[in-house]
Each structure stands twice: as structure tokens, then as C-alpha cells.
Amino acid sequence: MQNLGIQILFQGNNFLRLWEGLWVSLKLAVISMSFSICLGMLFGMVMTSTNKLVRFFCRLYLETVRIMPQLVLLFLVYFGAAKHLNVNLSGGTAAVLVFTFWGTAEMGDLVRSALESIPVHQYQSGYALGFGKIGVYRHIIIPQTIRRLLPSMMNLLTRMVKTTSLVVLIGVIEVVKVGKQIIDASRYTVPDAALWVYGVIFIMYFAVCYPFSRAAALLDKKLRD
Amino acid sequence: MDFEFIRAYAPLYASAAGLTLTIAFLGIFLSVVIGLLCSLVKIFKIPVLTTIVNGYIEISRNTPLLIQLFFLYFGLPKIGIVLSSETCGITGLAFLGGSYMAETFRTGIEQIPKIQTDSGLSLGMTGLQIFRFIILPQAIATSVPVFCANIIFLIKETSVFSAVALADLMFVAKDLIGIYYKTDEALFMLVISYLLILLPVSAFCTLLERRVRYAEFGNSDPVSGK
């Protein structure tokens, strides 16, 4: 057997460095996700408004986000902001901005459909029992909405994690970049490093995303029964 | 905004858009084929194959396309499998899309209550007739919206192909920004190109959804009456 390429992972602290790299994109995902959840809740409630104009703008925002690839949005913010607003955004900031912009729309739509899936009689019974509008939301609607929301929120989180892998294309030093550094550093000693490094990154992403999507599937099933 | 520049480089974008579309089309076609096969395996619960298909679906759904492409493009040549950028793009897209399509088809068919098959049988229909006249129309009605969403999602995902040196729209835009520093023009044309590709697809999908909704069972859920 020839010189095993897998050893590249255990040389020095390579493996640790890869995890640190992954942590960078995970951090971006978690930050954007928290913003998206907060803003998305608000946006979702706005979306249920009966005002035609409000609905139109919500729709426009949602469709814009849905139609533009996230990478295009990233480019727009990363290159566009530097030129027009004269602010030099770091890749990370641009990524958080874009992913929050995207996540808020997606989250908002989830919140909207969860809110709409709650039968009208729930509201009416609340009012009949003498709850105010806030009381109905606080005690009746929101608790039920969150239960229904959890699985799709987790799915959104895995999508967010997967999408943050794009940040390497706007120059953030994350797991793929670290992987490239490792490959380049050992170009002559371990020629087949690329296979192992990219293979491990592949597995790492899987290891992070799988528990969430599994949990989402289980929760979904539990809700259905 | 420099319109001369836009006019001069529009053909470059057009050919890049053509490439994006070709690859998206082939990738999506393959993912539909993979999706059909995988969903059939899951519906008929073929012993060993089901486990393999389940594994494939989980792996493909829980990893980013970009990483899949890197592995295909930079990793595989080390064990002697050299793929061109185009093949890489198509393979990656089909690998990713296959699982999404499989899940769409499977849920479309499995969510039709068993009672309908039984009713069909008691009316003296054959298995094939039940599938053709009862299951399929309803399955299509419920799968089409998700199917369309998948197609738009897959076309959008093609934007990462520039990372494996495929001269698609992103690649051209990045090039123009790098060479001429015409950021506005390059980004403007990028957005326009994607709009030109995706808006018609999205509009067509909305139309299609409206069309197939007629086939839904009574257009409402008979139990809850919603």
C-alpha cells in the first residue's frame, strides 16, 4: 500500500484547524439564523395583514429573495456596498446581512403559513372567553404556532448551514479555505491530499446537518400523530 | 452606468446563460430520472436497495452542493477519476436534485389514503387502472408545486458552478469586476440574466400549479372540510 493520504488529517493540528474553519461558517449560520427568527416572526405576522398594499410588498420581497440565487445576493452586497455606500464590508458581515435578508423572508413565510393553519375558531373562542387581542396571541396562538413551526425551522437551519458554505467564494476564511491551505502546503509530500481533505469536509457538513434534519423529521412525525 | 460596456459584453452573458441553462436542464433531467427510480424503490420497499436509497437521500440532502462539487472536481482526480467542469456540474446537480425529486414523488404517492386503493379494488379495477386513474392524477396535483419549487431551487444552485471553473454567469460577472472594475454594470447584467431565466420559469410554475389543482380530490380535504 502506498503512502496513505489519510495521514494528512492527523499531521500537526490539521484536523482541529478544519473544525475551526467549519466553526467559522457555523457561527455565521447561527448568527444569521437568530436574526432571521426574530425578524421572521415579525415579518410573518405582517404578512397575515389584510391590507392589500402591505401584502403586495411582502409578496414582492419574498419573491425577490426566492428568485435570486443567494450567491448573487452575496455578490451584490459584497461588491456593490463597497462601491456605492463606501463601506468596506468584511465577507462575514456581508454574509450575515445577506443570509438574514434571505432567512427573514423564508422564516416569515413559515410563520405566515403556521399562523394561517390555526383555525379561526381558536381566535373566536379566545375572544369569547374575554381575551384581548394580545392575550389571544400570547396564550393561544403563539404557543400552537411554535409547536407547528419547530420542524420547518430546523429544516431552515440546515439549509442555512448548507448555504453558508458559499462564503468561501467571497473570501471568508472558513473550512474550505483551510482545506485548500492544507492541500497546498502538502502538495509534494501528500499528492492525494485533496481527496481526503474534501472528503472529510463533506463528512463534517453531513455530521452537522444530519442531526438537525433527523430531529426535524421526528418532530414532524410526532406532530402529525 | 456605462451602457456601451453593457452592450459590448451582453453576448458574453448570453453564452454564459446558455451554458447555465444547458447544464441545469441536463442536471434536472437526470435528477428526475434518479428521483423516479429512488421513489419507486422506496414505495415498493425493495429490501437492500431501500437502505442504499435512504443513505443516498440523507447524504445528498445534508451536504452543500459546493462541497459535493469540490469533492468531485478536486478530490476524485486523485484516485484517477478525472471529470470535466461540465460533467462535474451535471453530476453534482443530479446528485443533489435526485434526492429532492425522490422525496417529492414519494410523498406525492404515499399521502393518498389506502382507502382509495381499496375502493378501487372493490369497484373491480386492476392495479394498473387504480394507479392510472386514481393515484396518479392526485399525486401529480400535490407534487407539482413542490416539483416546481425544486426546479427553481436547482437552477439557482447552478450559481455555484463558477467554483469549479465553469464559465457560467457568476464566473463572467466576477471576471468583469476583476478585469475592468465595472462593478455596477457586471452586477446589473448578472441580476438581469438571472431574472430573465428564472422569472419565466416561476411564472410557468404558477400557471401549472393552478392548472393541476383541479385534479385535487374535491379541491378540499373531505374529513375536516377545510
- Answer whether A162 sits within 8 Å of B63, measured CB to CB: yes
pLDDT digits (tens, 9 = 90+) for B4-61: 888 888 888 888 899 989 999 999 999 999 999 999 898 888 889 999 999 999 999 9
> CA dihedral defined by B189, B191, B196, B197, rounded to 10 degrees?
120
Residue B142 in contact with residue B108, Cβ under 8 Å?
A: yes
Assess A184–B contact: CB distance below 8 Å, yes or no.
Answer: no
State the DSSP string of A6-47: GGGGGSTTHHHHHHHHHHHHHHHHHHHHHHHHHHHHHHHHHH
Nearest chain A residue (CA) to B173: A75
Cα dihedral sign, B197-B202-B208-B212 = positive
The one-letter amino acid code at A84 reads: H
- Answer whether A176 sits within 8 Å of B173, measured CB to CB: no
Output the CA–CA distances (angstroms, integers) from residue A141 to A38, A44, A144, in the order listed: 17, 13, 5
Assess A57–B contact: CB distance below 8 Å, yes or no.
Answer: no
The residue among A67, A70, A210, A212 with the most chain B CBs within 10 A of its CB, best to mutate, is A67
Assess A4–B contact: CB distance below 8 Å, yes or no.
Answer: no
Show the cell assigned to B143. Answer: 407534487
Assess A205–B contact: CB distance below 8 Å, yes or no.
Answer: yes
Indicate the pLDDT class of residue B218, thresholds 50, 70 and 90.
low
pLDDT digits (tens, 9 = 90+) for A110-124: 998 888 888 888 888
Show the cell assigned to B208. Answer: 401549472
Residue B8's CB is within 10 A of a number of other CB atoms, namely 11
pLDDT at residue number A172? 84
Q: Within its chain, how far is the Cα of A131 from the centroid?
A: 36
Output the CA–CA distances (angstroms, integers) from residue A200 to A181, A185, A210, A214, B68, in the order listed: 14, 17, 15, 21, 11
Burial string for B41-66 (b: 16+ CB within 10 Å, else e) reads bbeeeeeeeeeebeebbbbbbbbbbb
- Answer whether A210 sits within 8 Å of B62, measured CB to CB: yes
Q: How many CB pairs under 8 A join A and B?
A: 114
Nearest chain B residue (CA) to A211: B62
Quick one: which of A106, A117, A112, A95 has its CA closest to A32? A95
pLDDT at B216 exceeding the cut of 70: no
pLDDT at B97 exceeding the cut of 90: yes
pLDDT digits (tens, 9 = 90+) for A137-167: 888 888 888 888 888 889 899 999 998 888 8
How close A169 gets to chain B, by Cα (Å)? 7
Q: What is the pTM of this model?
A: 0.85
Measured distance CA(B3)–CA(B39) in Å, rounded: 50
pLDDT at residue number B31? 94
Half-sphere CA count of B121, side-chain side, radius 13 A:
6
Nearest chain A residue (CA) to B184: A80
Nearest to A195 among B75, B152, B160 (CB): B75
Enumerate residues 6+ apart whose C-beta is below 8 A from B152.
Answer: A66, A67, B198, B201, B202, B205
pLDDT digits (tens, 9 = 90+) for B122-136: 999 888 888 888 888
pLDDT digits (tens, 9 = 90+) for A198-211: 888 899 999 999 99
Show the cell assigned to A17. Answer: 484547524
Name the helix (H) or strand (E) containing B30.
helix B3-43
pLDDT at residue number A3? 57
Residues from chain A that touch B78, judged by Cβ atoms under 8 A, are 5, 191-195
How close A104 gets to chain B, by Cα (Å)? 18
Burial string for A152-178 (b: 16+ CB within 10 Å, else e) reads bbbbbbbbbbbbbbbbbbbebbbbbbb
More confident residue, A77 or A1: A77
User: Residue B112 has what DSSP assignment?
Assistant: S
Show the cell assigned to B226. Answer: 377545510
pLDDT at residue number A221? 85
Residue A213 in contact with residue A220, Cβ under 8 Å?
A: no
